[in-house]
Amino acid sequence: MKTHKFIYLILILALANSVIAQETFKRSNFLVKTIGLSESYAKRFSDTTKIEDLALIFNQLSITHVISPISLIISYKNGVGNVLLEFNYDHEKVFADAIINQHNNEWSKWGTGISVYLEGQIFTALSQYKKSVATQNWSIDKELLGFDSTIKLKKQNGDYMIFYAHNDLDYRGLLSSTFYNNVHMQIGGKKYETEAGNFNTFNKMNYFLVGKTSGVDGNKTGAYYFCKFFNINPN
């Protein structure tokens, strides 16, 4: 009987380890595309080792695997570079993550809004990815560091939400990521824009406080549709 229990325990542990292994990011989770880059720069951004390192960073930051598969699109147009990360967004699955859910519950006491802890972690990962690509032979290509970072959350019904961030390199060579205050979205086929109501604390909190959901004219604002996208009850 003890032998059977031991074998049963081994099987459970093996299954648990298998599930954990399936939940880690790998190179295959990222579909990479470059637009408007020279062949040499395109190779640097799409280099297999760099993408494998990005997957490792995702795992180190414990980014939820429910956002896989991921599209990574690096573009350069009219002198402006951008690193865009897109994924299919399922609100219930994302906020089933214990860390994200806890973070949202803690900061929701400050007012109506939503945790952008996930987006903050992704921007951190993209910053490290860009620095890795920009670093070559002990020198850093600051133009590549200047590429903006963009995250696009897409729903199956065609709705989407876009967050933006930029990077700053300090004197120690450390690269930090900072949210832009505004977001763009498409809800029901129409495009809207809104800004975080907590501009000064947005980045420290990783929590997006929504502004007024109706204007002086009584019409719904971008903040209202932001709430709709994230299943927030607009008070």
- Low-confidence winner among 79-88, 164-173, 195-204 (lowest mean pLDDT): 164-173
pLDDT score, position 159: 98
Give the residue-averaged pLDDT of 215-226.
94
| Rounded average pLDDT over 38-67 | 96
- Which residue has better confidence, 113 or 139? 113
Question: What is the arithmetic mean of pLDDT over 213-219?
Answer: 92
| pLDDT, tens digit, 9 for 90 and up, residues 105-128 | 999 999 999 999 999 999 999 999
Alpha-carbon gap, residue 178 to 176, rounded angstroms? 7
At residue 171, the pLDDT reads 67
First vs last Cα of the chain: how many Å apart? 59
Q: Does position 210 have pLDDT exceeding 80, yes or no?
A: yes
The answer on pLDDT for 21 being more than 50 is no
Task: Please return the burial class of 209, using the count of CB atoms within 10 Å of its CB with bins 0-12, 13-18 and 19+.
Answer: buried
Token pair belonging to 4: 């059977």
| pLDDT higher than 80, residue 207 | yes
pLDDT of residue 173: 67
Count CB-CB contacts under 10 A for residue 98: 10
Q: Is residue 103 predicted with pLDDT exceeding 80?
A: yes
Mean pLDDT of 197-223: 92
Asked if 31 and 71 count as a contact pair (C-beta separation under 8 A), the reply is yes
Region 201-226: mean pLDDT is 93
List the chain domain ranges. 24-229
Say what the pLDDT of residue 107 is.
94
Q: What is the pLDDT of residue 167?
A: 85
Q: Report d(CA 92, CA 186) in Å as an integer.
A: 20
**Cα–Cα distance between 181 and 194 in angstroms, integer?**
9
Model pLDDT, residue 200: 86
Digit-coded pLDDT (tens) for 163-191? 999 988 776 767 788 999 999 999 999 99
